[in-house]
Amino acid sequence: MPSPTNFVLLSNARSGTTLVTSTLNSHPQICCHGEIFHPKPKFHFREIWADHNDPADYADRPLALARAVLEDPRTAEAYPIIGFKMWKAQAPGACKALCGDPSVRKIILERKNKLATYSSGMLAKQTGVWNVPSDKKNLDLAPEKLPFNGDRFRKYVETQRSVFDFYDSHVAGDVYRLAYQEVNAKAFADLLAFLGAPAAELEVGKKKLHPSDILGRYAEERHDEIRRTLDALGHPEWITEEMAA
């Protein structure tokens, strides 16, 4: 049996990774697990692996867990392409090793609008809703308007930049870079080609939770401070977020 094609989706929270992984999983030749290094990993593994393995067996051995997932012979019998998603903070050492392994293809997914990721995380914690299946009707979440602290946001942006700088400086081998705003049918067609999967019509797995008016997520009395902060960061465009057609 030929070795499977392995890949890792590198990103950070609230960047569209669930959309990408769930959509890739609609392809019959792809098995893409979720966050295998999540503190509560139960729902992040595809059943084909979880039914015969226990991530607890790899406690304190994150790289061994990654290898066990990517090289699982039972999964490889059913899927010629196997991957998972992670972010650096979940397992820094394993992340560095996987980035530097040219036999593992890397997808780097970044949501460039950091006000969007920042507010999305706050809204998820407030509402308790992190993702919505694409076939579910719109939820009337009616979240409360968010507060804003300029210093905290600037530190958040610095942390985000350091994460993606880490990916860029350590990756070796085949790399596909994708921006969240560019996730559309063409991007998925390109992703399939990158992974060596035959073209197929994929089912979009999740849908956008909140409106594209990012500024409108915040209390109106904080809008001027937000605009000043974004101007100082050189990204006044972050007050909104439009997806590619």
Residue 184 maps to a domain: yes
β-pair partners for 133:
206
Q: How far is CA 16 from the centre of its chain?
A: 5
Residue 178 maps to a domain: yes
Residue-wise DSSP of 151-192: HHHHHHHHHHHHHHHHHHHH--S-EEEEEGGG-SHHHHHHHH
Would the pLDDT of 222 be above 90? Answer: yes
β-strands 104-110, 30-35 pairing: unpaired
Q: Contact at 8 Å (CB) between 73 and 25?
A: no
What value, to the nearest 5°, has the Cα angle with vertex 83 and ends 198 and 170? 110
pTM, whole model, 2 decimals?
0.92
Q: Contact at 8 Å (CB) between 175 and 109?
A: no
Q: Contact at 8 Å (CB) between 146 and 122?
A: yes
CATH number for the domain spanning 76: value is 3.40.50
**pLDDT of 94-133, one tens digit each?**
999 999 999 999 999 999 999 999 999 999 888 876 666 6
**pLDDT of 1-30, one tens digit each?**
568 999 999 999 999 999 999 999 999 999
Residue 212 maps to a domain: yes
Q: What beta strand segments (E) does the chain contain? A: 5-10, 30-35, 81-86, 104-110, 175-179
The structural domain count of the chain equals: 1
Residue 180 maps to a domain: yes
Residue 181 maps to a domain: yes
Q: Which two tokens stand for residue 91?
A: 């397992």
pLDDT reported for residue 212: 87
Would the pLDDT of 207 be above 70? Answer: no
Q: Contact at 8 Å (CB) between 116 and 214?
A: yes
Residue 244 maps to a domain: no
Range of the domain at 14: 5-239
Instruction: Please give the mean pLDDT across all residues of the chain.
Output: 92
Residue 82 maps to a domain: yes
Residue 245 maps to a domain: no
Residue-wise DSSP of 118-135: HHHHHHHHHHS----BTT
- % the chain with pLDDT above 70: 91
Grade residue 188 by pLDDT with cuts at 50, 70 and 90: very high
